[in-house]
Amino acid sequence: MTATAAARLSSRPAWSVLDRRVTVLCLAVVSVAIGWTLADRSGLQSVSPAVAAAGIVIGIPHGAMDHLVPGLASRRWQTPAHLALVIGVYVVIAAAAALALLRMPDFSFAIFLLASALHFGWAETTYAEERSGDQIPEWRDGWWAAIAHGSIVVVLPLWSSEGQDAMRPLVPTLVDAVASVPTSWAISAVVAWCGATVIRLVARRRLLAAVELIAVLALFLVVPVFAAFGVYFGLWHAVRHTSRLMDALAPGESIHLQLKAFARGAVVPTSAALIVLTLLFAYRSNVGVVMTGVSVLLALTFPHVLVVALLDHHRRAGRPLSATESTGE
């Protein structure tokens, strides 16, 4: 493979058609959610849990391709033996995380929240840079923007009354510790950090990234927290990650073909996750079953974070991320 071809596969073209559509979709959905809240907050509040559930279901496929990412990084990992190894390691990490959540729920959930904040925040940072045609930054160059996005998605729900009421039955000690810090302090800290980040983004002429940060902040400040998270997870975070995978699966192809390639790879894991969610809902009156199910679902976040880190590493290093990689490299 030539250096030019490798570069084409390892980075996304700036402002592709897919990027434009994803950006418009994300901002439009957030605008609708905020507008709905301003027009009929009580109405949205009444369906907020349903919006959250819908967002989670919509977002499931974005993590269903994790087992194929190593194969996108190198053809050597596309063999059945290597694929089985990847899936095995993935399951072991998730199982260990689930066990930790069951045995040490408060401590493990705190680690989960930290990992989630870093994951959500870094995902926004990398997407914005790739969309602009720039290389994915090192952590030392983009941590400030990542913390801004991550704190919005994790800190604001964590310090909301709805969020604490939902988590208290599962992690009471952690919720008590969080509640000991005044909500106004937490919100003020997040808003101040985001304000400083917006100023820095504008100074770097990243105007769209600044607008998007303001949009996400407004979403979580204005919209009921469960609805805000559902909108963000399903129709912002998941959509952006999916677009990166679509580009890696079928670089240079039409959006239709990229979407078909993604659907083929994601259908089986997505179906399995939906079955688990269905069983979890059916046995929702059993606290033990619910805690086990929630722990398993949350535990999948840990290997997912590692897989996305691998994706970013190969993008940053300029290595090919495509099934068409030459075997003679």
Which residue, 60, 106, 136, is CA-closest to 304? 60
Residue 113 in any domain: the answer is yes
Residue 326 in any domain: the answer is no
Contact at 8 Å (CB) between 66 and 307? Answer: yes
256 among annotated binding-site residues: no
More confident residue, 175 or 289: 175
Token pair 């897989």 in the structure block, residue: 307
Contact at 8 Å (CB) between 159 and 190? Answer: no
67 among annotated binding-site residues: no
CA torsion angle 284 289 295 296 (round to 10): -100
Q: Stretch 198-202: mean pLDDT, rounded?
A: 97
What pLDDT sits at residue 152? Answer: 98
| Domain assignment of residue 302, given as a range | 15-317
Residue 175 in any domain: the answer is yes
More confident residue, 234 or 2: 234
314 among annotated binding-site residues: no
What average pLDDT is seen over the chain? 84
The answer, yes or no, to whether residue 312 has pLDDT greater than 60, is yes
Q: Give how many domains the chain has, as a whole number.
A: 1
Residue 293 in any domain: the answer is yes
b/e burial code for range 249-272 (CB count within 10 A of at least 16 → b): bbbeeeeeebbebbeebbeebbee
Residue 77 in any domain: the answer is yes
Q: Stretch 85-114: mean pLDDT, rounded?
A: 88
What CA–CA distance (Å, rounded) separates 100 from 109? 9
Q: Stretch 103-131: mean pLDDT, rounded?
A: 92
- The DSSP code sequence of 132-165 is TTPPPPPHHHHHHHHHHHHHHHHHHHHTSHHHHH
What pLDDT sits at residue 318? Answer: 58
Coil/strand/helix, residue 12? coil
Burial of 316 (0-12, 13-18, 19+ CB in 10 A): middle
pLDDT-based confidence at residue 3 (cuts at 50, 70, 90): very low
More confident residue, 235 or 293: 235
237 among annotated binding-site residues: yes
Residue 324 in any domain: the answer is no
Residue 5 in any domain: the answer is no
Residue 4 in any domain: the answer is no
In the chain, which ranges are continuous DSSP H helix?
3-10, 17-39, 41-46, 48-59, 69-73, 80-103, 105-131, 139-158, 161-167, 172-179, 183-203, 207-222, 225-232, 238-249, 255-282, 287-299, 301-317
More confident residue, 7 or 132: 132
What CA–CA distance (Å, rounded) separates 197 from 203? 10
Q: How many CB atoms lie within 10 A of CB 135?
A: 15
CA torsion angle 121 123 128 129 (round to 10): 110
| 80 Rama class: left (phi>0) / alpha (psi -120 to 50) / beta | alpha
What CA–CA distance (Å, rounded) separates 78 from 74? 7
The answer, yes or no, to whether residue 329 has pLDDT greater than 80, is no
Each residue's pLDDT tens digit, 201-215:
999 999 999 999 999
